[in-house]
Structure 1
Amino acid sequence: MFSLTVADHIMVAHSFQGEAFGPAQRVHGATFVVEAEFRAARLDRANLLVDIAAARVELRRILDAIDYRNLDTVPAFAGQNTSTEFLCLHIHGALAEAVREGRLGESGRGVEAIRVLLRESPLAWAAYEAAI
């Protein structure tokens, strides 16, 4: 299986509901390094898995919708705890849609799976991966 990863980062504010979250129930900030790994069993005719530039542009487009935002006020997240794991799932879904719609270029049509990893710090991160 081949893989290609692009990365970016976001800064958000959010709060969590539930006593299990302790002080994180209050509004707080988070900075995430976001890695999107695209996987495929084969390369295209040009020996590419996906166009890196197209993948970076699409990842940035998705992240722009939440970067420098209070996630508590984003309608799509109403009633959700925007945990690191949840954000991985959200970004994965948007990237999978981009692949299905051909927004990653012709080589991107061969992508079979995506793994999204968010790093909260050098000591903690979460990921979600699934087939397209």
Structure 2
Amino acid sequence: MFSLTVADHIMVAHSFRGAEFGPAQRVHGATFVVEAEFRAPALDPLHLLVDIAAARTELRRVLDTLDYRNLDAEPVFAGKNTTTEYLAFHIHGLLCAALREGRLGEGGRRVTALKVLLRESPLAWAAFEGPVAEPTEVAA
């Protein structure tokens, strides 16, 4: 399996519901380094998996929907705790839609799996990985 990874970052504000989150129940900021790893079993005739520039552009487009926002105020996250794990899942879904819609070119149509990793610090990160398939939802 071949892979190609691009990265960018976002800064968000959010809060969590539930006593288990302690002080994170209050609005706080988070900065995430976001990595998107595209995977495919074969390369194209030019020996590319997907165009790096296209992958970086699409990752930035997806991240622009989150960057510098209070996620508590975003309708798409109503009733959800925007944990690092959940944000990885959400970004995965948006990038998979971009792949299926051809926004990463023909190479993107050959991508079979995607891993999205969010680094919250050098010591902690979370990821979601799965096939480039129709969207699914996690438990509320």
Asked if TM exceeds 0.5, the reply is: yes
Deviation, 1:109, is: 1.0
Unaligned residue ranges in structure 1 (runs of 5+): none
Deviations 1:24-81 (A, max 9, x none): 0000000000000000000011110001011101000000011000000000000100
* 1:100 and 2:94 matched: no
RMSD over aligned Cα atoms: 0.4
CA distance in 2, matches of 1:76, 1:108: 26
CA distance in 1, matches of 2:123, 2:14: 20
Deviation, 1:107, is: 1.2
Runs of 4+ in 1 over 2 A off after TM superposition: none
For 1:26, give the aligned amino acid.
R
Deviation, 1:108, is: 1.2
**What does residue 90 of structure 2 align with?**
90
CA distance in 1, matches of 2:123, 2:54: 30
CA distance in 2, matches of 1:108, 1:5: 13
For 1:87, give the aligned amino acid.
L
- After superposition, residues 36-51 of structure 1 pair within 5 angstroms as 36-51=36-51
CA distance in 2, matches of 1:45, 1:100: 20
SS at the partner of 1:128?
strand
For 2:130, give the aligned amino acid.
A
CA distance in 2, matches of 1:48, 1:88: 25
SS at the partner of 2:82?
coil
SS at the partner of 2:97?
helix
* 1:32 and 2:29 matched: no
TM-score, length basis structure 2: 0.94
